[in-house]
Chains A and B, each alone.
Chain A
Amino acid sequence: MSVDTRRRSSAGRAAQPVRSERVRAEARLGWWLAGPAFVVMLAVTLYPILQAGWDSLFHFRLTAPADKSFAGAANYVNILGDPLFWQSLGVTLLITVVTVAVELLLGFALALVMQRGLKSVRGLVRTAILIPYGIITVVSAFSWFYMFDISSGFVNSWFDWVPGIGPETNWFAGTWGSLFVVIASEIWKTTPFISLLLLAGLAQVPTELEEAAEVDGATWSERMARVVLPNMKAAIMVAVLFRALDAFRIFDNVFIMTNGAYGTEVLSLLAYRTSIGRLEIGLGSAISVLLFLCVLLICFISIKAFKIDLAGTRGGK
């Protein structure tokens, strides 16, 4: 909209035909430059998801391709009636809520350390915090798995003074132990991202406001609650939304640590095992579509609830 009005007003000032020719040439150049990226993005996502939507309407197993037949909504009925699907959804939501909540607190603390910590070690802290961000999730998963593993781990011998932990504690023999380690590794790996976003948010809080509050005698927690946090609302919401979407798609950690055993199956793993493990393309596609719809729903709810203008807060003009 704003583009149009701007264009019209500037066109009014210059000689009309020359100007509009230039405007058109500029638009053409814009699309020539940006078009390839746009087309590639659509081709690598939109086309496959449409294909998945189509495939989900068929009884289609790769082991018996000749038996492909139209199924209508049968695959969806099948999945939505399966307790395993609801259990996976529950586990996925649990992981999402817990990791996002913990990461928000931890990430904010780390952001404060990065912003206000001693100048001389700020670089060190930033570098250290960036390491988990760069580490491959699979490596992080293995490292946490080996720490807690009953044969190669040292956690049991380090923490045997904690009631309930002993040399024989097998973390990966039950739902809660496994989920605990999965969540811990996810938090470790992805907190840096959230704390960097929050650091950028902190940088946007006007220092004068905070200083004024301090002069007026506000305590540290009052300044945080009344001045700092309200001023970085946008950054917090973006961080929460992006982390929530990311956590909802969790896959690597669970695959490495339990491969879905003991009720730790998450939605992504269910989709993977149905389609690529059991070659049930029809059913797997239906799960893929449902997962996609869940992500859309999360986006929609957060945009409505938080009134986030994503394009705006993420740097749109």
Chain B
Amino acid sequence: MAISTAREKATWIIITVAVVIYALFPVASILATSFKAPSDLANGTFLPREFSTLNYEQILIGDAQGLFLTALRNSIGIAVIATCIAVVLATLAAYAIARLEFRGKKLILTTALAVSVFPVISIVTPLFNIWRSIGLYDTWLGLIIPYLSLTLPISIWTLAAFFRQIPWELEQAAQVDGATPWQAFSKAIVPLAAPGVFTTAIIAFFIAWNDFVYGIALTSTESARTVPAALAFFTGASQFESPTGAISAAAIIVTLPVVVLVLAFQRQIVSGLTQGAVKG
């Protein structure tokens, strides 16, 4: 590589700044909107004239509280449970794929691939119908099950890629050194596998947290409606008041966990996404 000159360095700094602005601008924009007072919303500026926390008060302790906090609880509960189930099932499957010889490995991976390109909207109509007749419509379980179609395939791919890189001979080495098979597995393999499982869980959680189609199609009340769906149906305090501020504030609150996870686990997320996707 060429020696980096001062001019080259300056160019890279400008590019970096441009990329960061590009990536963060819409978030900054909705953050700015969330701090606008109602009177300030329509003045066509980016920043609020006066810093106001009214919107946050409205959704956290005000009249929109019931709506928003219930939806937030549903979102967290449903996404976490769907993530846990997917990661447990995917860990078992990926272990088998990476470690054992058996017919049908390729079938399982191909099925996972097929499921991940499956159009969600194609499953929603029949599910809507089936769920209504067996009583799963508008329940947590009624969302957790279809969420598995989103979280399971990517978990299997990502974990299978992670597990293939684990030097499994370590286990035998530990057994030779006198460990029981279980000790060998838990002391030698589990610590190596844990980061991959954790990364997969974060990625699966992002995907479940992001869902919108299932959320609006398979719920009708507050009993299971998730935040993305609730935002779409959110109406203002009165018919004539557009809920721009409240939606912006709610949007910022649901974005926070994502930002925290990204900041904390940036490196792992990148490696997880790319390993599951392209590496052989």
On A, residues with C-beta under 8 Å from B are 3, 6-7, 23, 26-31, 33-34, 36-38, 40-42, 44-45, 48-49, 51-52, 55, 62, 110, 113, 117-118, 121, 123-140, 142-144, 146-147, 149, 151-154, 156-158, 167, 185, 188, 192-193, 196-197, 199-201, 204, 211, 234-235, 238, 242, 245, 248-249, 251-252, 255-256, 267-268, 271-272, 275-276, 281, 284-285, 288-289, 291-292, 295, 299, 310-317
Contact = CB atoms under 8 A, between A and B. Distances in A.
Contact of A242 (B13, B92, B117): B117
A42 B148 CA distance: 11
Contact of A200 (B231, B267, B278): B278
A37 B274 CA distance: 22
Given A142-B248, A285-B126, A131 B41 contact: no
Nearest to A203: B274
A45 B117 contact: no
B186 interface: no
B212 A251 contact: yes
Interface residues of B, number: 105
B59 interface: no
A315 B280 contact: yes
A136 B262 CA distance: 13
Given A55-B129, A255-B212, A295-B117, A7 B145 contact: no
Question: In terms of DSSP, what is the predominant structure of the interface of chain A?
Answer: helix
A124 B258 contact: no
B93 A37 contact: yes
B118 A292 contact: yes
B231 A142 contact: yes
B197 interface: no
Given A31-B96, A312-B280, 8 more contacts: A34-B104, A38-B108, A117-B12, A136-B227, A188-B22, A251-B212, A276-B128, A285-B126
A124 B16 contact: yes
Contact of A276 (B24, B42, B124): B124
Contacts of B248: 142-143, 146
B212 A49 contact: no
B152 A134 contact: no
Q: Which 9 pairs, one residue from A and one from B, show the smallest C-beta to C-beta distance? A: A30-B102, A200-B274, A134-B258, A27-B102, A33-B96, A37-B93, A51-B126, A143-B30, A34-B93
Contact of B26 (A36, A45, A144): A144
B277 A200 contact: yes
B205 to A, nearest CB: 10
A134 B259 contact: yes
A42 to B, nearest CB: 7
Contacts of A311: 106, 109-110, 113
Interface stretch (B49-57, B61-69, B153-161, B169-177): B153-161
Interface string B226-266: 01100110000000001010011001001100110111001
A275 B277 contact: no
A167 to B, nearest CB: 7
8 contacts: A30-B105, A44-B146, A131-B24, A152-B244, A154-B45, A185-B26, A196-B274, A317-B164
Interface in B89-124: 89-90, 92-93, 95-97, 100-115, 117-124
Nearest to A200: B274
B101 A30 contact: yes
Given A117-B15, A127-B262, A127-B263, A316 B106 contact: yes
B129 A51 contact: yes
Contacts of A135: 26-27, 255, 258
A289 B122 contact: yes
Contacts of A152: 33, 41-42, 242, 244
A153 B242 CA distance: 13
B100 A41 contact: no
A125 B212 contact: no
B42 to A, nearest CB: 5
A249 B148 CA distance: 18
Interface in B176-210: 206, 209-210
Q: Which of A23, A40, A135, A313: most chain B Cβ within 10 A?
A: A135
B77 interface: no
A292 B125 contact: no
A123 B266 contact: yes
Nearest to B202: A134
A43 B218 CA distance: 17
Contacts of A193: 273
A101 B275 CA distance: 24
Contact of A197 (B23, B210, B227, B277): B277
Nearest to B245: A152
A48 B130 contact: yes
